[in-house]
Amino acid sequence: MKIFELLGVFGGLALFLHGMQMMSSGLEAAAGGQMKNIMERLTANRFMGVLTGALITAAVQSSSATTVMVVGFVNAGMMTLNQAVWLIMGANVGTTVTGLMIALDVGALAPIIAFAGVFLMIFMKEARLQHIGQILAGLGILFIGMDTMSAAMAPLREFPAFLRLMSTLSNPLLGILFGAVFTALIQSSSASVGILQTLAASGVIPFSGAVFVLFGQNIGTCVTAVLAALGASRSAKRATCIHLLFNVIGTVIFTFLVLVFPITGLIESLVPGPKAEIAAMHVIFNLVTTMLLLPFGNALARLACLMLPDREEAQGAGGMRLAYLTPVAAGGKEGGLGVSAIVVDQLRNELHRMLEMARQNVDTGFKAVLARDTAPLERVEQREEYIDFLNREISRYVSRLIAIETNEQGSRMVSSFFTVAGNIERIGDHADNLAGYTRLLAEKDITFSRYAQEEVRQMRDVTLRAVSALFSGEAGNDVWLSQVAGLEQRIDDMTADFRRDQLNRMREGTCSAEACILFSELLTDFERIGDHVLNIAQELTRAETTL
């Protein structure tokens, strides 16, 4: 085999993989932000779940992309493990479409499809049309790459060393191992099946040996999902385990059937040509395995739970950790299908934790001032450190993610969370200030008047109402924003009224100088908390209107 022919194989493979990546990115940019809603509606029952998984995989030409998306959804708590089972089964069915298109020689239209896609990308101004163009261009490039590989592999029929290697693959175990390892290396079963079809069409490997390689390829495609689940939650790892179980069980069943019954001979007699034979076997393998395991989907989920039982999640220094955010699409390489929906929910959940800690500190801070009790101050300081930790980690995550986010709407939503995190951190700072006044009250034996204490109680009540409003399920709409703005205005009005009352008490001599200074500082923190609550509400409303 000449060096230029070898370069042709690698060049064709590069085009094939790049085409799949373009399609996946185009679909993500066009619909990534709506992926969560699509999943919730279409995984209501097992049959719709399987169909949804198959259609998405057929659209992006990659079961790995679909499965990684499912792992991300499970990790983000957006999908249950039982729902994930049906999507994973559907992904295995949908991945057969690539082989069918190769067998039907759809690649003959590849230049036209690629040209149409590039035309939309370059000359259309509407973003959605450009994204559709990216999908079409990716599909065209995918088949151009396959044709390039096919032409480069033709001389392999005359290469003795390669023929000897292929002859060993008639051994079932070696064939399965080769298929699994090769697919794991290139992380694409669609590409590896396409290469297998090309080899078979070139006469390099007989169909009887190719079937075992094909079975192994179905196992090897699980590697991408396994890598995606590293560092993810226990449930996400279980979703990967289900994917692996599905393909291993299918491989065991079909290896037995092929060895015992003349299935390969029957397919060769009914289906014309090696490419079509491999495509037919690929479809039969995944359809039959899906039908056999469909009644046992929930059992697969339970088996995955038994294999990976619950355990205490590892924590970082000082017990601080991110509970929801994981390196999904934030590892610095690329995004992926559904990443917008995944990260938006993960960030919301993490910010919810952060806001709850700030709310607890506000409540504790006011109570400590009223009781002049310094005992809770240590807990307040610990929570404040945790809030600072979450702000740093969320900000780092967002800054990495913005650079790789392919969905414009999702990018704006993620960017808004950067501002939200900063405002929550400032609420935490003011709550910490409130608690700190308790230490001065105790050390200097300062006592607020009965009127001042009643005003502190009123401040606490309205502040908690304002912060708690940010947890509302209605967050993001205009009615909710007007309600939060009303609470913030109430805080401003109360601040003005209480300052006026304080001046009156100073004139009457019922308020000491030190108590007046502390009360004035407390009013400043009270007002600033209201400002940051309104900032968060405005940012969330702007972000929601982008989706």
| Cα separation, 140 vs 110, whole angstroms | 4
pLDDT of res. 170: 75
One domain for residues 356 and 481: yes
Band of residue 157 on the pLDDT scale cut at 50, 70, 90: low
Cβ within 8 Å of residue 316, ≥6 positions away: none
Q: Which of 447, 392, 460, 452 is nearest to 422 (CA)?
A: 392
Three-point CA angle 97, 23, 218, nearest 5°:
40
Q: Band of the pLDDT at 328, cuts 50, 70, 90?
A: very low
Contacts of 543 (CB under 8 A, 6+ apart): 412, 413, 416, 417, 476
Q: Are the beta carbons of 487 and 464 closer than 8 angstroms?
A: no
- pLDDT class of 249 with cuts at 50, 70, 90: very high
Residues 138 and 228 reside in one and the same domain: yes
Q: Structure tokens of 10?
A: 């690698």
Look at residues 307, 330, 361 and tell me which one is the last residue of a structural domain.
307
Contact 477, 541 (CB under 8 A): yes
Residue 541 and residue 478 in contact, taking contact as beta carbons nearer than 8 Å: yes
Task: Give the helix/strand (H/E) hosting 481.
Answer: helix 478-508
- The verdict on 291 and 365 lying in the same domain is no
User: pLDDT tens-digit profile of 83-128?
Assistant: 888 888 888 888 888 777 776 666 667 788 889 989 998 888 887 7
Whether residue 371 is contained in a domain is answered as: yes
What's residue 332's pLDDT?
40
Rounded Cα distance, 407 and 344, in Å: 12
For residue 529, name the pLDDT band (cuts at 50, 70, 90).
Answer: very high
Residues 6+ apart with CB under 8 A from 284: 267
Contact criterion met (CB below 8 Å) for 231 and 199: no
Note the pLDDT tens digit of each residue in 404-449: 554 566 667 777 888 999 999 999 999 999 888 998 888 888 888 8
For residues 268 and 349, membership in a common domain is answered with no
Whether 508 is in a domain gets the answer: yes
Counting Cβ atoms within 10 Å, is residue 342 exposed (0-12), middle (13-18) or buried (19+)? buried
The confidence band for 494, taking pLDDT boundaries of 50, 70 and 90, is very high
One domain for residues 401 and 282 = no
User: Which residues span the domain enclosing 119?
Assistant: 3-307
Q: Which residue has the higher pLDDT, 80 or 458?
A: 458
Those residues whose C-beta lies under 8 Å from the C-beta of residue 234, and which sit 6 or more positions away, are 308, 310, 311, 313
**The token pair that represents 523 in the structure block:** 């009013």
| pLDDT range class, residue 506, cuts 50, 70, 90 | confident
Residue 326 lies in a domain: no
CATH number, position 533: 1.20.58.220
Mean pLDDT of 364-381: 90
Joined tokens for residue 445: 């034996």
Residue 329 lies in a domain: no
342-353: pLDDT as tens digits? 677 778 888 999
What is the Cβ-side half-sphere exposure of residue 196, based on CA atoms within 13 angstroms? 36
Q: What pTM was computed for the model?
A: 0.62
How would residue 333 be classed by pLDDT, with cut points 50, 70 and 90? Answer: very low
Does residue 225 fall inside a structural domain? yes
299 and 390 fall within a common domain: no
Provide the 3-class DSSP secondary structure of residue 449: coil
Note whether residue 41 is domain-resident. yes
Q: What is the pLDDT of residue 360?
A: 94
- Domain assignment present for residue 323? The answer is no
Q: What is the pLDDT of residues 474-493, one digit of tens each?
A: 766 788 889 999 999 999 99
| Number of Cβ atoms within 10 Å of the Cβ of 72 | 29
pLDDT at residue 330 greater than cutoff 50: no
Judge contact between 166 and 19, C-beta under 8 A.
Answer: no
pLDDT at 329 over 60: no
Determine the pLDDT at residue 479. Answer: 86
Q: Averaged over 149-171, what is the pLDDT? A: 66
Task: Share the mean pLDDT of the chain.
Answer: 80
The secondary structure of 186-248 as a DSSP string is HT-HHHHHHHHHHHHHTTSS-HHHHHHHHHHHHHHTHHHHHHHHTTS-HHHHHHHHHHHHHHH
Is the domain of 169 the same as that of 265? yes
pLDDT digits (tens, 9 = 90+) for 197-230: 877 887 778 888 889 999 998 898 887 777 767 6
pLDDT value at 388 more than 80: yes
What is the number of domains present in the chain?
A: 2
Q: Are residues 298 and 345 in the same domain?
A: no
| pLDDT greater at residue 82 or residue 149 | 82
**CB atoms < 10 A from the CB of 97, how many?**
20
Alpha-carbon torsion (394, 397, 403, 407), positive or negative:
negative
Q: Exposed, middle or buried by CB within 10 Å (0-12, 13-18, 19+), for 449?
A: middle
User: Is 328 contained in some domain?
Assistant: no
Instruction: For residues 516 and 520, give the distance between their C-alpha atoms in angstroms, rounded to a whole number.
Output: 6
Shared domain for 104 and 247, answered yes or no, is yes
From residue 437, give the alpha-carbon distance in Å to each of 355, 444, 463, 528: 22, 11, 17, 16
Confidence band for 4, pLDDT divided at 50, 70 and 90: low
How sure is the predictor about 38, in pLDDT bands with cuts at 50, 70 and 90? low
What is the arithmetic mean of pLDDT over 242-270? 91
Highest mean pLDDT among 129-143, 181-195, 327-341, 430-444: 430-444
Domain boundary among 264, 289, 307: 307
CA distance 38 to 17: 26
Per the structure block, which two tokens stand in for 357? 């800690």
pLDDT at 77 over 70: no
Handedness of CA 36, 467, 489, 517 (dihedral sign): negative
Residue 252 above 90 pLDDT?
yes
Tell me the two tokens of residue 70.
Answer: 């499912």
pLDDT at 315 over 50: no
Same domain as 272, residue 200: yes
CA distance linking residue 246 with residue 266, whole number of Å? 25
Indicate whether 32 pLDDT > 70: no
Q: Same structural domain for residues 487 and 419?
A: yes
What's the DSSP call for residue 328?
Answer: T
**Residues 296 and 362 occupy one common structural domain:** no
Q: Any idea what the Cα angle at residue 232 is, between residues 231 and 238, rounded to 5°?
A: 120
Output the pLDDT for position 361: 94
Model confidence at 29, in pLDDT bands (50, 70, 90)?
A: low
Q: How far apart are CA 192 and CA 522, in angstroms?
A: 67
Average pLDDT score over residue span 517-533: 93
Share of residues in the chain with pLDDT > 70 (%): 77
State the pLDDT confidence band at 540, using cuts at 50, 70 and 90.
confident
| Contact by Cβ (8 Å): 371, 62 | no
**pLDDT at residue 94, rounded to an integer:** 84
What pLDDT digit, counting tens, does each position of 266-290 carry? 998 888 888 889 889 999 999 999 9
